[in-house]
Amino acid sequence: MNYPETFSSKNKRFKLEIIGCKEPNNGRMLWEVKVSKDGKDITQLLCKNGNFINYKTDKYVIDSESSEFVYLPIERQPKLVRMEDDKIIDLPIQIWSTFRFIGNNFGFGLLVEIYNDQVLVTNLLSFFSLAISLGNGKRILWANMESSAILQIEYREIEIIGKVEKTIDTKKTLFNITFPPAETTA
């Protein structure tokens, strides 16, 4: 089987290598990974409950613009790693994340995680995360920060007929993002 490429940080210090594919149950496809920093295997340190990431990786971005942070879309418990001191930040738990994960991006000192039913925006200074959901009848396609305070979400309005989703329209909307004042983090 051909696996997706190995994902490397821009500075080449951090690597996420796909080493296998698993289907633990009910069509839940996951990539099995090996994670290394500076050539040292740190998989067990980061993936204590199994070394699996979400299956969709075509819109996965491994690191921030400066490679200061690395994002790992670990199934159920995504993580952020601050490279300078190896601080591991557990991001909000995402149930059935492999079915919902679309991708992620970085910008304006923020991490944007995109799922089909919500967007999580995490401040890279305070590690505070905000969840934005559009509600029933909408499926998120993509999201990105237009500025440090404006999030744009592209989504589909849908109608569910039986087990089939029918797209009614595709739209974009803007959200003002405000975080609590940052405190000094340890």
Tens digit of each residue's pLDDT (9 = 90 or more) over 73-131: 999 999 999 999 999 999 999 988 989 999 999 999 999 999 999 999 999 999 999 99
**In which order are the strands placed within the sheet that holds 164-176?**
138-145, 150-161, 164-176
Tens digit of each residue's pLDDT (9 = 90 or more) over 11-39: 999 999 999 998 888 778 899 999 999 99
DSSP 8-state secondary structure symbol assigned to residue 146: S
Tens digit of each residue's pLDDT (9 = 90 or more) over 143-167: 999 999 999 999 999 998 998 999 9
> Which of the two residues, 180 and 142, has the higher pLDDT score?
142
> What's the pLDDT score for residue 27?
79
Q: Which residues of 164-186 are buried (b: 16+ CB within 10 A; e: fewer)?
A: eeeeeeeeeeebebebeeeeeee
> What's the pLDDT score for residue 25?
80
Q: Residue 182 above 70 pLDDT?
A: no
DSSP 8-state secondary structure symbol assigned to residue 107: E
What are phi and psi for residue 97, nearest 5 degrees?
-60, -30
**Vertex 185 angle, CA 128 and 147, to 5°:** 45
